[in-house]
């Protein structure tokens, strides 16, 4: 798929991080926890996003980071303008509980839609890091469907799920991807806004986003 080199710029960026208990696991004996290894990857991705620009135009000057686990929206909504802020988020928070994504994603989408309906310009990128299946799959799929129905086309929003750890169920996420491919936008046209990729295959987050655009 072709894309304009600057299609990635001028976007609101939201990062959602799985804080469920399984993030304490170690994929290799003696190695760091998933939570700690993910910190390194998220820091790298945030650094790339905040520093990328084309002809003086950046993707975004800040990123909203949210943690998700329980079936509710957490009070903390971190606004990151420097990669060092990411390290503090991981250090000050520890994994626990389950893997409910929908309340947090919906909260992020609501924030973006409110701003977009005002400005009519700022598109969005949502990046979700998780090491397992969502506990609210049906609600997640419904949210994606409802989101597509509000968009003029599928270039306005892209939601990228990055699978973390060796226990990631690729078949589950392939089904999730397939189940959301038949959604339509506000005009009834096909609207595919979801992508899944394994963390160990993401060499460059910018290239991954651009490929989707």
Average pLDDT, whole number, for the chain? Answer: 93
* Cα distances (angstroms) measured from residue 193 to each of 84, 92, 168, 180, 181: 30, 32, 21, 8, 8
Per-residue pLDDT of 47-71, as tens digits, reads 999 999 998 999 999 999 999 999 9
Domains annotated on the chain, with CATH? 11-212 (3.40.50.410)
**Confidence label for 118 from pLDDT (cuts 50, 70 and 90):** confident
The average pLDDT across 112-141 equals 91
**Residue 122 clears pLDDT 90, i.e. is over it:** no
Q: What is the DSSP string of 112-181?
A: HHHHHHHHS--EEEEEEEESS--TTHHHHHHHHHHHHTT-SSTTSEEEEEEE-STT--HHHHHHHHHHTT
Per-residue pLDDT of 75-97, as tens digits, reads 788 999 999 999 999 999 999 99
Assess contact for 86 and 42: CB atoms under 8 A.
yes
Q: How many CB atoms lie within 10 A of CB 63?
A: 24
The average pLDDT across 105-131 equals 90
Assess contact for 67 and 105: CB atoms under 8 A.
no
């Amino acid at each position: 798929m072709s894309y304009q080199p600057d299609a990635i710029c001028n976007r609101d960026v939201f990062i959602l991080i799985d804080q469920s208990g399984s993030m304490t696991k170690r994929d290799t004996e003696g190695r760091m926890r998933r939570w700690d290894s993910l910190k390194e990857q998220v820091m790298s991705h945030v650094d790339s996003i905040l520093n990328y620009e084309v002809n003086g135009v950046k993707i975004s000057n800040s990123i909203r980071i949210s943690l998700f686990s329980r079936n509710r929206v957490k009070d903390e909504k971190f606004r990151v303008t420097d990669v060092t802020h990411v390290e503090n988020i991981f250090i000050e928070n520890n994994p626990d509980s389950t893997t409910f994504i929908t309340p947090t994603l919906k909260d992020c989408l609501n924030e973006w839609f409110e701003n977009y309906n005002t400005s009519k310009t700022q598109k969005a990128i949502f990046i979700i890091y998780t090491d397992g299946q969502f506990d609210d799959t049906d609600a997640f799929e419904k949210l994606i469907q409802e989101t597509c129905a509000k968009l003029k086309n599928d270039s306005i929003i892209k939601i990228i799920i990055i699978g973390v750890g060796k226990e990631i169920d690729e078949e589950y996420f392939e089904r999730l991807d397939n189940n959301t491919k038949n959604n339509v936008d506000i005009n009834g046209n096909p609207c595919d806004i979801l992508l899944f990729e394994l963390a160990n295959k993401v060499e460059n987050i910018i290239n991954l986003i651009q490929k989707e655009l």
